[in-house]
Amino acid sequence: MNNSDVIVVGAGPAGLMLAAELRLAGVRPLVLERQPTPRHTQKAHGLSGQILHLLRYRGILDRFEAATTDPVPPPRFPYGGVHLDLTRLVDPPLGALPLRQHRLEQLLAERAVELGAEIRRGHEVVRLSQDEDVVTAEVRGPDGTYEVTARYLVGCDGGRSRIREMAGIPFPGTTYPEVNRIAEVRVHESVTVLENGDLEAPGLRVRAGYTRTDRGVFAVGSLTPGVLMMQTTEEDPSEVDNDEPMPLEEMRESIRRVLGADLPLGEVTRLSRYQFQARQAERYRDGRVLLAGDAAHLLPATGVALNAGMLDSVNLAWKLAAEVQGRAPDGLLDTYHAERHYAGARALLQTQAQVALRRGQDAAGEALRAVFQELLADEQPARRLGALVAGADLRYPTGDGHPLTGTFAPDLVLHTDQGTTSVAELLHAARPVLLDLAGRDDLREIAGGWADRVDVRTAKADDRPADALLIRPDGHLAWVGGEPESLRDALTTWFGEVSG
């Protein structure tokens, strides 16, 4: 029987991010992946939203930026059949990094292994049980079946999660009847891309953006010169397997059905299909079994799932580590469900709004999209929607009255005796930080009682939001202010009793 601190089931982005974060917190994760080799199915095309800021706060965003060969697109995003254009904003709340999912997973796996995580591919969890002390997984591997025990097990095994099933956690929601097919292709020699983005082919002209017919929707655009991204959306009541490879001819036939004509396709670099679902697990924890990523939520829009799933992992890791190491205050692990179920519900809110926008095919639906597009021409609605899509508007419920408590810590420029630094640099090690911005000896003295768990830093900031900030490892603010007793309460609530 093998033993580990935490078993992570699934070597997708959520599982690999969790493994790395657990190692930063000093915990030994074992990642079990059913597939024998890394996946090369082109599902997600990049990262977007708040996870980009978190990667920067860990000091590794440049590693992901260096791995992409595609230009970073301007902040202009599809939203339920309209366009969310943030290019006019000096500091858009939503950005994107083009990076194919297999490359993203490769980079995440490399980092997890560098930090000391173990990844076993071709090892499938077929049964699990738990008691008050441990969870036991029966695993089928290349050399037979064996058991592994751990303090906790986290299912990061996707929308069809066996772990969620075995834990008996309900997954209510809706499967929408549309089937979406995506192709990334080079421009065919017989196709001309006009200055406005429209396509001209023999006997056919297709406008850039969305073309709606009575048979479905065709969308086309380009982020890279000479390369087109195409998508068809058709009604199909039967459920499809998102992980099943899609042949090129299936895409050709779908385009022919929607447009009523053939569109020549050049060299294909990506093919995938998916069916949207809006589902959320009733609970993200069942005893010693937890869920993260697509196992916990499926969102009916593109460009959202990776952001939400990887942020689940960052929120969970430091709390799980505290439990494993016996230093967690009562109820800390339960805040994972409270906070990330709330975040998942927010993500469902905006993605289901996209469903309502894109599904209307009559005059009323066209009018709704037209009015919505007009609203997005103004800065404040565009900024608010961008923050909602990014997950940047989250304020976790804390009961604290300060408006910044529960939000993601702003990346202040910090002036110290050693030079200039930033909030982002303070969080590279994924440790909590009390940041004293006002030279408050009394606050630093209180935090000294938690010196084994909380780093204390003193600095000055040009635009100081408060006397001091207590920043959690996931970048969210646990406390903001200057009142000593409330700081003591916050330290106890999040990081346990004062050191003996």
Residue located via tokens 């920067």:
56
Q: Residues 113-131: what's their mean pLDDT? A: 97
Q: For a pLDDT cut of 90, what percent of the chain falls above it?
A: 74
10-19, 229-238, 375-384 — which is least confidently predicted?
Answer: 229-238
pLDDT of residue 73: 82
Options 3.40.50.2000, 1.50.10.10, 1.25.40.10, 3.40.30.120; CATH for 413-495 is 3.40.30.120
Highest mean pLDDT among 7-21, 189-203, 357-371: 7-21
What pLDDT sits at residue 43?
66
Region class of 282: left (phi > 0), else alpha (psi between -120 and 50), else beta: alpha
What is the pLDDT at residue 177? 86
Check pLDDT > 70 for residue 52.
yes
Burial 362-401 (b: 16+ CB within 10 A, else e): eeebeebbeebbeebeeeeebbebbbbbbbbbbebebebe
Q: What is the pLDDT of residue 401?
A: 76
Banded model confidence at residue 302, pLDDT cuts 50, 70, 90: confident
pLDDT band at 178 (very low <50, low <70, confident <90, very high): confident
In which residue ranges of the chain is CATH 3.40.30.120 found? 413-495
Residue 269: its pLDDT value, please? 84
Task: State residue 149's pLDDT score.
Answer: 97
- pLDDT, residue 203, reads 87
Instruction: Name the DSSP letter for residue 201.
Output: E
Torsion over CA: 429, 433, 437, 438 (sign): negative
- DSSP states of 144-191: EEEEEEEEEEEE---TT-HHHHHHT----EEEEEEEEEEEEEEPPTT-
Q: Which residues pair with 298 in a beta bridge?
A: 279
How many CB atoms are closer than 10 A to CB 497? 11
Confirm if 148 and 7 have CB atoms less than 8 A apart: yes
Q: How confident is the model at residue 274 (pLDDT cuts 50, 70, 90)?
A: confident
What average pLDDT does the segment 139-164 reach? 96
Residue spans in the chain of domains classed CATH 3.30.70.2450: 175-276
The answer to whether residue 443 scores a pLDDT higher than 70 is yes
In the chain, CATH 3.50.50.60 covers: 2-171+281-390
Question: What pTM does this model have?
Answer: 0.92
Average pLDDT in the 156-168 region? 96
User: What angle do helix axes 305-324 and 50-57 make, rounded to 10 degrees?
Assistant: 40
Six token digits for residue 131: 């008691």
In degrees and rounded to multiples of 5, residue 240 shows phi and psi of: -110, 160
Mean pLDDT, the chain, rounded, equals 93
Q: What is the pLDDT of residues 205-224, one digit of tens each?
A: 998 888 888 888 898 888 67
Q: For residue 246, what pLDDT is reported?
A: 87
Residues 184 and 268 sit within 8 Å (Cβ to Cβ): yes
C-alpha–C-alpha distance, residues 137 and 32, integer Å:
10
What average pLDDT does range 177-195 have in this prediction?
89
Nearest one of 358, 383, 361 to 78, comparing CA atoms = 358
Handedness of CA 233, 234, 235, 240 (dihedral sign): negative
Question: For residue 305, what are the CA distances in angstroms to 147, 150, 311, 383?
Answer: 31, 28, 10, 20
pLDDT in tens, 306-325: 999 999 999 999 999 999 99
Q: How confident is the model at residue 278 (pLDDT cuts 50, 70, 90)?
A: very high
pLDDT band at 354 (very low <50, low <70, confident <90, very high): very high
* 3-state secondary structure at position 225: coil
Q: Which helix (H) or strand (E) holds 234?
A: strand 227-235
pLDDT at 1 over 60: no
Architecture of the domain delimited by 2-171+281-390: 3-Layer(bba) Sandwich (3.50)
For the segment 261-278, the average pLDDT, to the nearest whole number, is 89
Q: What is the pLDDT of residue 460?
A: 96
Which pLDDT score is estimated for 345? Answer: 97
C-alpha dihedral, 318 to 321 to 326 to 332, nearest 10°:
40
Looking at domain 175-276, its CATH class is: alpha beta
Mean pLDDT within 186-190: 91
Percentage of the chain modeled with pLDDT above 70 = 98
